[in-house]
Structure 1
Amino acid sequence: MPSDNPIGEPFFELSEVESSNNYAMQKVQAHLAVHGTTWFAHFQKAGKGQRGKEWKAEPSQNIMLSCVVEPALLSVDNQFLLNAAVALACHDFFKLYAVDKTSIKWPNDIYWEDRKAGGVLIENVLSGERWRYSIIGIGININQTLFPVGVRNPVSLKQITGKTYDIIKLAKELCISLETRWQQLLLLPASHLLKEYSVHLYKLNQSANFEKNGNFFSGIIRGVTKTGELLISQDNHAATSYSTVNWVLP
């Protein structure tokens, strides 16, 4: 699947699909996609979110897309760095329109103030020590203003700015942001992306509430490790790293 295409080229629109990530995976497995290929879904009947959750969105109101990338030049140990690069690209894009108050809620949700504006789901395919390809799925709320009951604290660009946007134009701008961060991932030291990612963390250096194995606790977020664990300090002690922890949000 070698290709010099930038992310977003070619760019296909799908009127309806079960899941853009599943669709992209099927195309890759059938050798019908190259690095950079992107599918934009106007409607997903069964969109995929983190941890098996469903991503629900009104038709033709938001960005819902999946991109194929081939991380052949990256070590399989760098999977979190891809996550960080994609989250930063989404942050760059959203902040351009929403301006201040945009952050990254660990590991890869986009927040505006205390409300969720978007999320990322990356599915990696490995073959031994070789990182064959990744499917980057992104959902960002753009023009939707009414959300299903039970969706926690959603927000869209339209709710923030009062403006209605051309979602295809914005989706292609997001692809440009993704390509910029992809090139940084390939060319810059890992510390560069990790530092930027940490700077933009939701609740950085603030107290937050968490749950782990049924135990609830408060701690101060201090950053992330190079492998993506969240660093949380409690009672002025040194920070502890957590590979999995659940947020307890207001």
Structure 2
Amino acid sequence: MSRSKPLSMQQIASLSSLCATDLTSGRNQSRRPRMTTFGSTAYRFNSLPSTNDLARELAMKGAAEGAIIVAAQQTAGRGRQGRSWNSPPSEGLYLSLILRPSIKIAEATVITLAAAVAVRDVFNSEYGLECDIKWPNDVMVGDRKISGILMESASEGEHLRYAILGIGINLLQRHFAGELENSATSLYIETGKSIAPDEILRPLLLLIEDEYNTAINKPDHVIERWVERSSYSSGAHVRLFIGDRTVYGITRGLSESGALILETEAGTRRIITAGEISLRKAE
């Protein structure tokens, strides 16, 4: 569906095919046992321009933390730095999650790191697929992306009002065309398993909630787990694309806030913040 103006909460509820869903049992209900907060309210659509856009509308209207928006297709999905996210019908999980962390803007990167750890771990624990994490938010199989994460937020002063965590996971694609042919992969391509979006959604939400709570209360633990799971974290020779410039260096871990520490060819150390760069391993 296409939308030219924001929807009211009543319109959102009537358009959604499943509201306030119990993701454990599949029953519609207004409240469910507190097995998990995340996903206790779920808005589902056959098609949306962007799940993040609708999540932002809901967050601005006061939607509670943990509400999710899921679409079978996105017609204008996006990733970092304004890139589009390929979202063909029913071939991936296209998910946005509303968060209301009581943290400062400067501390928000760790939430993205926590989400990447959760996505990486769900592939490993549920499907036996070993994945890498490219700083800050791409989950990779070798040099091909299987999942991307985009966090967008609004703030009041130094603190976050809300954050929208958008996650795209390639599940059922059998091949990719054009510029994605050599840079993307899917769970089906890597394992031969046909996994429906809801099948991965349930365990993923449990892992995200656990990592998110750790990120808020013990962010250093999330950073440690991210470093353990990423070949990019330390000692990797990388290229950074900063605007029209290319900078070569070696990664030297993450800062306390989750920023990447880069040792340049000149021997200086530079703190790289999310949204500033595009990173690839140097050949």
**Which TM-score applies when normalising by structure 2?**
0.79
Do the aligned residues in 2 keep the contact of 1:7 with 1:35 (CA within 8 Å)? yes
Instruction: Using the TM superposition, give the Cα deviation of residue 163 of structure 1 relative to its aligned residue in structure 2, in angstroms.
Output: 1.0
Q: What CA deviation, in whole Å up to 9, does each residue of 1:167-192 have, x standing for no partner?
A: 1121122111111112212332x221
Of 144, 161, 164, 1:135 maps to 164
Instruction: Using the TM superposition, give the Cα deviation of residue 116 of structure 1 relative to its aligned residue in structure 2, in angstroms.
Output: 0.4
Q: Which amino acid aligns with 2:210?
A: T
Distance 2:280 2:59 in 1: 37
1:15 maps to 2:15: no
Total equivalences in the alignment = 245
Q: Secondary structure at the match of 1:45?
A: coil
Q: What CA deviation, in whole Å up to 9, does each residue of 1:198-244 have, x standing for no partner?
A: 22224342322333354434322221212333222245946432233
Q: 1:69 — aligned with what?
A: 99
Q: What CA deviation, in whole Å up to 9, does each residue of 1:16-54 have, x standing for no partner?
A: 1110000111122233x2111011110001012111111
Of 123, 129, 133, 2:152 maps to 123
Alignment of 1:54-203 (within 5 A): 54-72=84-102, 74-97=103-126, 99=128, 101-151=130-180, 152-188=182-218, 190-203=219-232
Tell me: CA distance 1:186–1:118, structure 2 relative to 1, closer, same or farther (3 Å).
same
Q: Secondary structure at the match of 1:87?
A: helix
Do the aligned residues in 1 keep the contact of 2:36 with 2:206 (CA within 8 Å)? no
Distance 1:56 1:245 in 2: 21
Of 213, 216, 222, 2:246 maps to 216
Do the aligned residues in 2 keep the contact of 1:111 with 1:202 (CA within 8 Å)? no
| Alpha-carbon RMSD | 2.3
Structure exhibiting the larger radius of gyration computed from Cα positions: 2
Instruction: Using the TM superposition, give the Cα deviation of residue 121 of structure 1 relative to its aligned residue in structure 2, in angstroms.
Output: 0.7
Distance 1:78 1:113 in 2: 29
Q: 1:246 — aligned with what?
A: 278
Gaps of 5+ in 1: none
Q: 1:52 — aligned with what?
A: 82
Do the aligned residues in 2 keep the contact of 1:98 with 1:160 (CA within 8 Å)? no
State the structure with bigger RCO (CA 8 A, min sep 6), 1 or 2.
Answer: 1
Distance 1:24 1:129 in 2: 22
**Which TM-score applies when normalising by structure 1?**
0.88
Q: Secondary structure at the match of 2:238?
A: strand
Identity percentage over the alignment?
25
Q: 2:29 — aligned with what?
A: none
Instruction: Using the TM superposition, give the Cα deviation of residue 100 of structure 1 relative to its aligned residue in structure 2, in angstroms.
Output: 5.4
